[in-house]
Chains A and B, each alone.
Chain A
Amino acid sequence: ETGVTQTPRHLVMGMTNKKSLKCEQHLGHNAMYWYKQSAKKPLELMFVYSLEERVENNSVPSRFSPECPNSSHLFLHLHTLQPEDSALYLCASSQDRATRKYNEQFFGPGTRLTVL
């Protein structure tokens, strides 16, 4: 596997379910990101981890809980979601900011989440 992979690619869940999204990067990066992509809205940065520590948390509801056990893996745990949380959830990775002049992010294909 190369690049950034995400599983599952599609997920349908009820409002009372608990599920997790998984992201894995094979690029040797040490920063990982979760974004939410909704139609006709700006791409929304949710969480950023650098060297396994959370460095950005953009006022995301607590029903979304991230976890970064190591620099290659990132999870998004979902609990009691609402229908308006239906969206494409994208994971990305990059080198740490301090090591590069510009910071290219590499994105996974996303998980299409539908909350019923």
Chain B
Amino acid sequence: GEDVEQSLFLSVREGDSSVINCTYTDSSSTYLYWYKQEPGAGLQLLTYIFSNMDMKQDQRLTVLLNKKDKHLSLRIADTQTGDSAIYFCAENVDSGTYKYIFGTGTRLKVLA
């Protein structure tokens, strides 16, 4: 079945890089997304990657996609305390539906 897996927790020190990993199962997904959820708020799109790309960089964020292994990662450089949040990986199953599969979310804690 369709599934997106993430580890639940990650803790890093301020100024270090954070790497949040995700594995997905549906190879037909054309877009993969990273969303951020801050306390008391809904999810907000951080970045996305098209399935024919291996890497996408946007300021401090780097997304790596390994289609063979169905592995997606989000690297945050120079992690700040304001980056503490839950990060969700999601795939958009491109079967003509609105079906989105989200992971459990990874709670990132940045230590000062």
Contact = CB atoms under 8 A, between A and B. Distances in A.
Interface string A75-93: 0000000000000001110
Contacts of A12: none
B86 to A, nearest CB: 9
Interface string B82-112: 0000001010100001111111110000000
Contacts of B102: 35, 42-45
B55 interface: no
Interface residues of B, number: 26
A43 B42 CA distance: 12
A33 B98 contact: yes
A42 B92 contact: no
Given A90-B43, A104-B48, A110-B42, A42 B104 contact: yes
A21 B85 CA distance: 25
A104 B99 CA distance: 13
Contacts of A108: 42
B43 A42 contact: no
Given A102-B92, A106-B42, A107-B44, 14 more contacts: A31-B98, A40-B104, A42-B101, A42-B102, A44-B102, A50-B98, A90-B42, A92-B42, A103-B98, A104-B33, A105-B45, A105-B100, A107-B35, A108-B42
Interface of B: 3-4, 8, 31, 33, 35, 40-45, 48, 50, 88, 90, 92, 97-105
Interface of A: 4, 31, 33, 35, 40-45, 48, 50, 55-56, 90-92, 97, 102-110
The 3 closest A-B pairs by CB, nearest first: A107-B42, A43-B102, A48-B98
